[in-house]
């Protein structure tokens, strides 16, 4: 267990394993997203109140949960970087910010276009929407902060502190619909009964899209982290070998 | 197909086409951005490394030539 954890902190190990894992991850993600999206868009029955419009939920809910998960991941990586000085953790944290930002933007956008016909407004300053917007600004802030530093380590530390301060916002997003009176609805309970308001035939596709989008999220993080490894570890011997091998292959196209 | 009577019904989304399809279009955009951007920056980085390597090689060759010339004049 500890040995495995220790290995995780090695950029070389991460680069090798993620490279081997990638084709499987891409295949599984494509399958899950394909099934979930086609199922959710074309095969589930319309909602009795919202009609076909509720199909936005199949991307809105997974996008929002993964955006929150992404913030937690960034904060955990930030803590690992601050406490144990693990360079690898900082590289993953750096990858989290832009990915989390786009997922939060997706949650906000899909929520807005969903709100226009159902709520009669695309935006309201209720607790759920506002705290989610703050999360997007935190992601943007972390990216801006990093770009303001010339030193990789100093920038990483500053970003880690901001990420850890901002993590308080994530449970606020989660429980905002319970703590305050919001226009945004609370979490729908999933029922196993087919006669319930939210039967399996409605929420099953969301699981496919959810796991598919999680797979995609991992792919996005891995792609960015691998780039970061090649840049930061360019003086390491093994990176030199990887670079010259890739350069030979790509000499024609780049 | 599925819950819809026809493909045009599917596209119409029961009158919610603008909302549903714009949400899904943004979704696709986010997917494309998150793959395309790191791939592009990887290519850019590799290109930069290739150029650096070429410059280094040229410098080494020029250095070698200079050494040969000075050696030649000496003898």
Q: Which residues numbered 27-86 in A keep a CB inside 8 Å of some CB on B?
A: 37, 41-46, 51-53, 55-56, 59-60, 63
Please report the ipTM that was assigned to this predicted complex: 0.90
Task: Tell if the CB–CB gap between A220 and B35 is shorter than 8 Å.
Answer: yes
Of A133, A106, A103, A134, residue with least CA distance to A221: A103
B16, B31, B45 ranked by CB distance to A230: nearest: B45
Chain A CB contacts of B42 under 8 Å are: 223, 226-227, 230
How far is B20 from chain A, CA to nearest CA, in Å? 6
Q: Give me the residue label for tokens 């850890």.
A: A164
- Domain spans in chain A, listed from the N-terminal domain onward: 22-42+57-237
Q: Which pLDDT does position A254 carry in this prediction?
A: 45
Decide if B4 touches A, using CB distance below 8 A: yes
Task: Tell if the CB–CB gap between A224 and B38 is shorter than 8 Å.
Answer: yes
Chain A CB contacts of B51 under 8 Å are: none
Distance from chain centroid for Cα B62: 33
Instruction: Using DSSP, state whether B68 is helix, strand or coil.
Output: helix
Q: Summarize pLDDT for A75-122 with one digit per residue, the tens.
A: 999 999 999 999 999 999 999 999 999 999 999 999 999 999 988 889
Decide if A114 touches B, using CB distance below 8 A: yes
Closest chain B residue by Cα to residue A221: B34
How far is A55 from chain B, CA to nearest CA, in Å? 7
Low-confidence residues of chain B: pLDDT under 70: 1, 73-75
Of A43, A44, A37, residue with least CA distance to A58: A37
Q: Summarize pLDDT for A28-37 with one digit per residue, the tens.
A: 999 999 999 9
Contacts of A82 (CB under 8 A, 6+ apart): A157, A160, A161, A164
Region A54-67: mean pLDDT is 94
Backbone angles phi, psi at A183, to 5 degrees: -70, -30
How far apart are the C-alpha atoms of A92 and A221, rounded to whole Å? 7
Of A154, A129, A126, A155, residue with least CA distance to A142: A155
Q: Which pLDDT band, with edges at 50, 70 and 90, does A252 fall under?
A: low
Chain B CB contacts of A113 under 8 Å are: 18-19, 22-23
CB atoms inside a 10 Å sphere around CB A12: 15
For the residues of A41-81, what is the DSSP string, one character each? Answer: IIISPPBTTTBGGGGGHHHHHHHHHHHHHHHHHHHHHHHHH
Q: Which of A41, A120, A121 to mutate to test the interface with B (most CBs of B within 10 A)?
A: A41
How far apart are the C-alpha atoms of A230 and A91, rounded to whole Å? 11
Total residues found in chain B within this entry: 75
Task: Tell if the CB–CB gap between B27 and A219 is shorter than 8 Å.
Answer: no
Ranges of H-type helices in A120-232: 127-147, 152-166, 169-179, 200-232
Domain count, chain B: 1
Decide if A232 touches B, using CB distance below 8 A: no
Is residue B2 assigned to a domain?
no
Of A232, A223, A8, residue with least CA distance to A98: A223
Average pLDDT, chain A: 90
Domain that holds residue B42: 7-74
Q: Give me the residue label for tokens 């997917």.
A: B31
Of A158, A147, A66, A56, residue with least CA distance to A103: A66
- Check residues A182 and A32 and name the one with the higher pLDDT: A32
Contacts of B63 (CB under 8 A, 6+ apart): none
Is residue B1 assigned to a domain?
no
Closest chain B residue by Cα to residue A231: B45
How far apart are the C-alpha atoms of B21 and B6, rounded to whole Å? 17
């Amino acid at each position: 267990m500890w040995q495995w954890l220790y290995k995780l902190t090695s950029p070389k190990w991460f680069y090798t394993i993620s490279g081997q894992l990638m084709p499987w991850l891409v295949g599984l993600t494509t399958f899950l997203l394909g099934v979930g999206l086609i199922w959710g868009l074309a095969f589930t029955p319309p909602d009795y109140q919202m009609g076909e419009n509720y199909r936005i939920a199949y991307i809105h809910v997974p996008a929002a949960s993964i955006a929150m998960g992404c913030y937690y991941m960034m904060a955990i990586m930030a803590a690992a970087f601050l406490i144990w000085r693990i360079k690898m953790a900082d590289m993953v944290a750096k990858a989290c910010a832009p990915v989390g930002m786009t997922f939060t933007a997706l949650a906000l956008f899909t929520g807005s276009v969903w709100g226009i016909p159902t709520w009669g407004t695309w935006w309201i300053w209720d607790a759920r929407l506002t705290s989610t917007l703050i999360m997007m600004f935190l992601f943007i802030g972390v990216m801006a902060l990093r770009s303001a530093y010339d030193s990789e380590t100093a920038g990483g530390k500053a970003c880690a502190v901001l990420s850890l301060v901002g993590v308080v916002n994530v449970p606020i997003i989660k429980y905002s619909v319970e703590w305050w009176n919001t226009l945004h609805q609370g979490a729908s309970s999933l029922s196993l009964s087919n006669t319930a308001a939210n039967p399996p035939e409605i929420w099953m596709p969301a699981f496919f899209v959810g796991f598919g989008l999680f797979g995609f999220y991992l792919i996005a993080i891995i792609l960015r982290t691998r780039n970061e490894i090649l840049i930061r570890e360019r003086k390491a011997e093994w990176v030199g070998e990887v670079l010259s091998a890739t350069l030979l292959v790509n000499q024609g196209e780049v | 197909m599925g819950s819809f009577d026809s493909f045009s019904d599917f596209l119409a989304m029961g009158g919610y086409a603008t909302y549903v399809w714009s949400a899904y279009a943004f979704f696709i955009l986010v997917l494309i951005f998150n793959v395309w951007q790191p791939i592009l920056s990887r290519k850019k980085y590799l290109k930069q490394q290739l150029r650096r390597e070429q410059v280094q090689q040229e410098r080494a060759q020029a250095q070698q030539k200079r050494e040969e010339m000075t050696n030649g004049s000496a003898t």
